[in-house]
Amino acid sequence: MYIFSMTKQYFLSLILIMSISTTGFCQNQDEDALIIKDIHNYTLTEAQCYDWLTHLTTECKGRLAGSANAEKAVQYTKQMMDTMGFTKTWLQPCSVKKWNRGKPEQVHIKYDGKKVQLNALALGNSIGTPEEGILAEVVEVKSLDEVEKLGREGIEGKIVFYNRQMDPTQLRTFNAYGGAVDQRVWGASKAAEYGGLASIVRSMTLRQDDYPHTGTLVYKEDIPQVPGLAISTNDANMLSALLQKQKVMMSVWTNCAPGEEAISYNVIGEITGSEYPDEIIVVGGHLDAWDVGGGAHDDGAGCVHSLQVIHSLKGIGYTPKHTIRCVMFMNEENGLAGGREYARVSNENGEFHLAALESDAGGFVPRGFSFDADAEVLKPFYAKVSKWLPLLESYGLYFTTGGSGADISPLKSQKGLLIGLRPDSQRYFDYHHTTIDQIDVVNKRELELGAAAMASLIYLIDKYGLK
Amino acid sequence: MYIFSMTKQYFLSLILIMSISTTGFCQNQDEDALIIKDIHNYTLTEAQCYDWLTHLTTECKGRLAGSANAEKAVQYTKQMMDTMGFTKTWLQPCSVKKWNRGKPEQVHIKYDGKKVQLNALALGNSIGTPEEGILAEVVEVKSLDEVEKLGREGIEGKIVFYNRQMDPTQLRTFNAYGGAVDQRVWGASKAAEYGGLASIVRSMTLRQDDYPHTGTLVYKEDIPQVPGLAISTNDANMLSALLQKQKVMMSVWTNCAPGEEAISYNVIGEITGSEYPDEIIVVGGHLDAWDVGGGAHDDGAGCVHSLQVIHSLKGIGYTPKHTIRCVMFMNEENGLAGGREYARVSNENGEFHLAALESDAGGFVPRGFSFDADAEVLKPFYAKVSKWLPLLESYGLYFTTGGSGADISPLKSQKGLLIGLRPDSQRYFDYHHTTIDQIDVVNKRELELGAAAMASLIYLIDKYGLK
């Protein structure tokens, strides 16, 4: 009975899709509501995204750009796309710089004759320590500015411990991350500028636990490079409490090293538009993930969201008028080579991206979308999409302006609309860049609802355009 | 620096709280926004609800009404309230009927010479099987109606397997639960009505996994009582597939039994109102939980939410004008004795409950509130609270009309406003009434945000009333 009613419903939708005029929005609102309901029904009953993510996070885990598992992820998603009915699929080469963690990090603190091991991970792009490691006194700071204030006198010959926590009062945890992550990104260079020997950063999470969070650091030019690592928040609290009372020595040994340049790929599938083949709508996520985890929420979820958008639109029998591309971007985590190369080639080919939607904030329950564009086009674009809000509010989806996604940001110069999926953010930094970002912390329905939300918006953009 | 700025902020709020006029709403919107922000800031930095819930789910787990652990939960929450600055706290006796699971259930299917054990739990209030168990052929149905259609000819002497799944296309999972749970509640009596020997129900969850979900069944009067159990969804799928091909025998052995009447308690704390002591605002959850799990989301979360509301309002220095009661209701799961007794005593004492807010939908990120009242008063109440929505929208909170909570529903006759917290529902039935409803599936921030949302609404109701 259930199967029958679904089939009948899709049949009705198909009739509606074929019969709807394209002249206006208001008159079609009921039909659009029905199609958006169909997208959700189909996705919540027929979606394959959770199975795909299971494969990606187990068979292609730790898929940092240039690694063997990144290559496996490229092959897997390409093969998947080849079964999904795209007009064409291809691999777009991009040059990435490898980085290898090497053997497990060893970080200990020494005080009162004790030696205590800390939960640590080297930061991505970091150089390793000398073979004999680094042994030095720890100095705690709460900001890059504080390093400058302490100056060479306070920093030289020491290991700098950055311990400003993410602000728990920020409702959107990405804002809390944004307010603390400068320590991770620039901490090593700032320490080195004043003679520091290494930087140790409190992990970027609101939880108090034992998991260290890796993530990229960036070395400033013309400043000596020193190693950078993250320690867990529990260890950061413990170390900070110790430092209130006494001098603490730390030994750091890492084996990591930047590697050679390598060729990797963006994986692209295209459904050529039936009416506006030269106006492209991209939906994507990034395929690479930090080496230590499964890359489930970051950003396997975004990849399978994007594939599911195509699967769901196909599933309800929708034929897009615009060209829709599904892109698995490579190297978001430590270089953005894929996003840059995609935009470079697109510009070279004189393409126009009407819209690009990225999912790179996890597979949690969707709360809405953020819209971004060059100032002169954002206002009319946003006015247009805002008219669609009544169709999506009943799914708990809301609109805001703001950043979209790193991989699609280089497309901004084409003057299209950039869009970010906004899932609920509360749990994202519990797992971000850790060993525990695995399939078991992704809820199947929450993942599916994200894909359904994206497919619904893509449907509206495709049907009505943005003008 | 952080501590300093928080303290300063609370000081400012206190000044504001003291200086705000009570004559209108619009003029105070900025001040209200500041206080609601303070409630959130305080809760996200100083809340204790997660620690309380950890205690409740580990030291007082499986706290079914009348059990030793329910008594421990009563004592624990009473002691907690005694430290929280209530005007008075008390235990309100109520008569509950015990139910004991006894030794672990044994359910096997037998086919092709194989004997396979199923993951099963007896349903609450069920009688046990005879000591020798029940061995009979299984007949699968999708509804109570189907039992009637099959009649005595199809049902007599068999074990009835109810296998209609929760509808995955329902966005709010409680609606999917509501559409399937009649099988669990009434399935045993319906089977018995046509000579069935026992009922086996597919677990009430949208997940496909190995965890059976218990929950209450109700026996109809004048119909013989037969045992009722739930099996996991994976086992239900497997059994259903087998039944497509062949006859399957099932053996069922349970040791459960209804027990004697016992006295248990609602745990109540009251802050007597400074201006309207005779107008009561209740905030509560239910303290009892099914015997197999920790009762983390159901409904330890609601209990600690309610305690945290008081803790947070105290924390920002707010003095309520109305009487605010925090109530831990007893026996929601299998009798509602606590909710009924609370209302009975309240009516006897001629009390008036202006509003009652229950949290009994889990400790997930809050999405809003549902409002319910007798028809003639709902409209003006809802009109009033709707004016406050702009203050809560930025916290992702929305309002709807609809059911509130089982424990507070007997208060409806007092013509006040009944309110349910609406957390995100996607994961609730992953854990509901299972062994895995434990502290580790509760996210600390999501829990805290629920409490902050509740405290914000209570603040507005207390400040402005509902007229």
- Write the pLDDT tens digit of every residue in B218-231: 999 999 999 999 99
User: Under an 8 A CB cutoff, do B430 and A446 touch?
Assistant: no
* Residue A443 touches chain B, beta carbons under 8 Å: yes
Task: Provide the ipTM.
Answer: 0.93
Instruction: Mutation target for B interface from A4, A54, A142, A169: give the one with most B CBs within 10 A.
Output: A169
Mean pLDDT of chain B: 94
Per-residue pLDDT band for B26 (boundaries 50, 70, 90) equals low
Specify whether domain B2-98+260-464 bears CATH 3.90.1300.10. Answer: no
Closest-CA residue of chain A to B364? A426
Query: Which pLDDT belongs to residue A28?
Result: 80
Chains A, B: CB contacts within 8 A come to 56
CA nearest B169 in A: which residue?
A: A41
- Set of chain A residues whose Cβ sits within 8 Å of the Cβ of B424: 365, 424
Residue found by looking up tokens 């935009």 in the block: A343
pLDDT in tens, A165-174: 999 999 999 9
CB contact under 8 A, B396 and A446: no
Query: Quick check: B130 pLDDT over 90?
Result: yes
Partner residue opposite B396 with nearest CB, options A142, A173, A367: A367
Closest C-alpha to A121, from A103, A134, A133, A135? A103
* Mean pLDDT along residues B449-453: 98
CATH of the domain spanning B102-255, picked from 3.10.20.30, 3.50.30.30, 3.40.50.1370, 3.40.50.620: 3.50.30.30
Name which of B45, B173, B365 is nearest A424 (Cβ-Cβ). Answer: B365
Name the residue in chain B with its Cα closest to that of A2.
B167
Cβ–Cβ contact A5 with B under 8 A:
no
CB contact B7 to A (< 8 Å): no
Q: pLDDT below 70 — which residues of chain A?
A: 1-27
Give residue-wise pLDDT tens across range A144-160: 999 999 999 999 999 99
How sure is the predictor about B467, in pLDDT bands with cuts at 50, 70 and 90? confident
| Interface contact B446-A426, CB threshold 8 A | yes
Mean pLDDT over the full length of chain A: 94
- Confirm whether A2-97+260-464 and A102-255 share one CATH topology: no
> Which residues neighbour A163 within 8 Å (Cβ) at sequence distance 6 or greater?
A140, A141, A142, A202, A236, A239, A240
Q: Which of B4, B7, B365 to mutate to test the interface with A (most CBs of A within 10 A)?
A: B365
pLDDT of residue A467: 87
Q: Residues 380..399 of A with a Cβ closer than 8 Å to B: which?
A: 394-396
- Could you tell me the residue ranges of all domains in chain A? 2-97+260-464, 102-255
Name chain A contacts of B206, Cβ cutoff 8 Å: 445
Interface check for B446 against chain A (CB to CB < 8 A): the answer is yes
In terms of CA atoms, which chain A residue is nearest residue B43?
A169
Which of A445, A446, A449 to mutate to test binding with chain B, by most B CBs within 10 Å of its CB? A445
CB B6, CB B45: distance < 8 Å: yes
How far apart are the CA of B1 and the nearest CA of chain A, in angstroms?
10
Identify the closest residue of chain B to A442 by CA–CA distance: B427
Hey, what CATH class is A2-97+260-464 in?
alpha beta
Q: pTM for the complete prediction? A: 0.94
Higher pLDDT among residues B331 and B29, named by residue? B331
- By CA distance, what is A43's nearest residue in B? B169
Closest residue in chain A to residue B206, using alpha carbons only? A445
Min Cα–Cα distance to chain B from A54, Å? 15
pLDDT of residue B27: 52
Contacts of A427 in chain B (CB under 8 A): 443, 445-446
B17 has pLDDT over 50: no
Q: Which of A168, A367, A394 sits opposite B45 (nearest CB)?
A: A168
| Chain A hits for B207, Cβ within 8 Å | 444
